[in-house]
Chain A
């Protein structure tokens, strides 16, 4: 990444899905720049292309055309292995349904993300560094780490998911409706934590939400409609 350059740079991004014999144009030319350390909220109605944008930025699916670079890496034409590497090193995901692995404890859910990101041949996971332990304290889950997801509340599960998403210090944290399954109190707590992470660690965050109140936590609001940014 070059200093002073956007961490996410998107120009004329298009994505077309082929559903049977029908072409569905999910993105119809999106332009977007996100600066390092920015907290951007993306809002829009269902079908506006928010999730497709989220999936492309996260390297879960390739774009059809246009240019997109994440931390200076061009995603167009990137192989499946290249996108896997991107997810491993540069992007962290937070989902609406938390998506913790039910068989593992909170600690192991975080450790598995470290294990996946570990370079081939590197030694096994060492203890978490003190900075990350401070993050766990900030998230308020340090005493809940030895519990499995079924023993955690929704708010706790989402905080573990956030810890898992940032444990490998990704360039971007992608959050897809992170408060969609939470009550107001827990929603506010999670949003405050995301803002804290952004302010304290300079974590770049791209958050998709339907909720205008949640969107207001970001520095900037991006509205999407019919595959475009308004």
Chain B
């Protein structure tokens, strides 16, 4: 019976109910989209790193796990790495940030191709000259590029020589020497990829290289890609918590206002329930059930809207941002929404529960 009253109360004010549900859903979508973007971008980076086909990855001393910063001298490749037993190929790439989310990667294509089967081209092919650029299909689609087009990246005009399938290293690759010259990083690379003759030898090679290169960071590709999580991105976890807190605040305020108005509007009905013998707990229970129902409906809508944001980002905006759908966060996002909503309903609920029955019955 209580559930029926709760349901009928929500049905009685459809616009207010809808607004409450939508406001809560935006909060849920905000959390899911942000977490989805973090995971999507990191998974994409991890998957592109795996696509390189290397077994070992070496980063400069003092560099962050997930960041393009830091350079090292390319000469350690012939001087140390290539001399290491079981190493079949070693090549360095230079990564230069184009903007917050995009990088231009310089590589020595003939050697890089030895790490794996090489780039898989959809249009065109490898560099023909020093000012050629190869882009992946997502970048080409977003920038409407075709083979033979000229494009300006980092204040330099490049000719598109090929468009390749996404999932390999980077979205924009150029000849290593050209990028080194353009960025005044002659003889420097950001990351060195190493291929080993047999996977059984990877651990041994890592141990030897770590010993020889001391301060450098030497990872197996498996370990490296497993580190792609929000916790390893500086400030990302804090940023997510700020957004989550904002979400709780929004849910709190929306439900507070909605329930406060509902309690004022239903003062007389609360008086009637009290006259019928309803305890303060019974009345609080009704309002809290209404709130939980609103929050559950808002959470479901919020989850559905996270598919819409993904559609907008990927299919309408053709953005390079990648939003993953994160079912492992659904319960947490719903929990956050319900907690915020319950906090918001607490004061109006207690106000209703403590309402004087005679005053409430006299309310017009």
CA distance A104 to B3 in the complex (A): 12
Q: Is A85 an interface residue (CB 8 A)?
A: yes
Q: Is B282 an interface residue (CB 8 A)?
A: yes
Is the interface on chain A under 10, 10 to 19, 20 to 34, or 35 or more residues? 20 to 34
Interface residues of A (CB under 8 A from B): 55, 58, 60-61, 81, 84-89, 93, 95, 99-104, 108, 111-117, 124-125, 164
Comparing B65-73, B127-135, B269-277, B319-327, the segment that makes contact with chain A is B269-277
B276 contacts which of A85, A87, A125 (Cβ < 8 Å)?
A87
Interface residues of B in 9-39 (CB under 8 A from A): 9, 11-12
Secondary structure of the B side of the interface? helix
CA distance A117 to B275 in the complex (A): 11
CA distance A125 to B2 in the complex (A): 11
B247-273 CB contact bits vs A (8 Å, 1 = yes)? 000000000000000000000110111
Taking CB atoms, residues of chain B closer than 8 Å to A81 are 279
In the complex, the chain B residue whose C-beta lies closest to that of A117 is B277
Scoring B11, B273, B275 by chain A CB atoms within 10 A of each residue's CB, the highest score goes to: B275
Determine whether the beta carbon of B277 is less than 8 Å from that of A104. no
Determine whether the beta carbon of B275 is less than 8 Å from that of A60. yes
Chain A's nearest CB lies how many Å from the CB of B291? 17
Chain A's nearest CB lies how many Å from the CB of B177? 76
CA distance A144 to B276 in the complex (A): 22
Determine whether the beta carbon of B9 is less than 8 Å from that of A95. no
Could you pull out 20 A-B pairs where Cβ atoms are within 8 angstroms?
A60-B275, A60-B357, A84-B278, A86-B277, A87-B276, A87-B277, A88-B277, A93-B276, A99-B271, A99-B361, A100-B272, A101-B269, A103-B9, A103-B12, A104-B4, A108-B1, A108-B5, A112-B5, A114-B1, A115-B1
Taking CB atoms, residues of chain B closer than 8 Å to A100 are 272
Taking CB atoms, residues of chain B closer than 8 Å to A58 are 275
Chain A's nearest CB lies how many Å from the CB of B313? 41
Q: Is B8 an interface residue (CB 8 A)?
A: yes
B277 contacts which of A84, A103, A124 (Cβ < 8 Å)?
A84
Q: Other CB < 8 Å A-B pairs besides A81-B279, A115-B2, 9 of them? A: A55-B358, A84-B279, A87-B276, A103-B12, A104-B8, A114-B1, A116-B273, A116-B277, A117-B277
Determine whether the beta carbon of A112 is less than 8 Å from that of B1. yes
> Do A99 and B268 form a contact, CB below 8 Å, given A112-B1, A125-B1?
yes
Scoring B272, B277, B358 by chain A CB atoms within 10 A of each residue's CB, the highest score goes to: B277
Scoring A104, A108, A117 by chain B CB atoms within 10 A of each residue's CB, the highest score goes to: A104
Taking CB atoms, residues of chain A closer than 8 Å to B269 are 101-102
Taking CB atoms, residues of chain B closer than 8 Å to A99 are 268, 271-272, 275, 361
Secondary structure of the A side of the interface? helix
Taking CB atoms, residues of chain A closer than 8 Å to B5 are 101, 103-104, 108, 112
Taking CB atoms, residues of chain A closer than 8 Å to B12 are 102-103
CA distance A112 to B8 in the complex (A): 13
CA distance A95 to B361 in the complex (A): 9
Determine whether the beta carbon of B272 is less than 8 Å from that of A116. no
Taking CB atoms, residues of chain B closer than 8 Å to A112 are 1, 5, 273, 276
Scoring A58, A60, A103, A112 by chain B CB atoms within 10 A of each residue's CB, the highest score goes to: A103
CA distance A58 to B276 in the complex (A): 10
In the complex, the chain B residue whose C-beta lies closest to that of A87 is B277
> Do A111 and B272 form a contact, CB below 8 Å, given A89-B277, A116-B282?
no
Chain A's nearest CB lies how many Å from the CB of B269? 6
Interface residues of B in 347-364 (CB under 8 A from A): 357-358, 361
Interface residues of B in 263-304 (CB under 8 A from A): 268-269, 271-279, 282
Determine whether the beta carbon of B11 is less than 8 Å from that of A103. yes
In the complex, the chain A residue whose C-beta lies closest to that of B271 is A99
B358 contacts which of A60, A104, A124, A164 (Cβ < 8 Å)?
A60
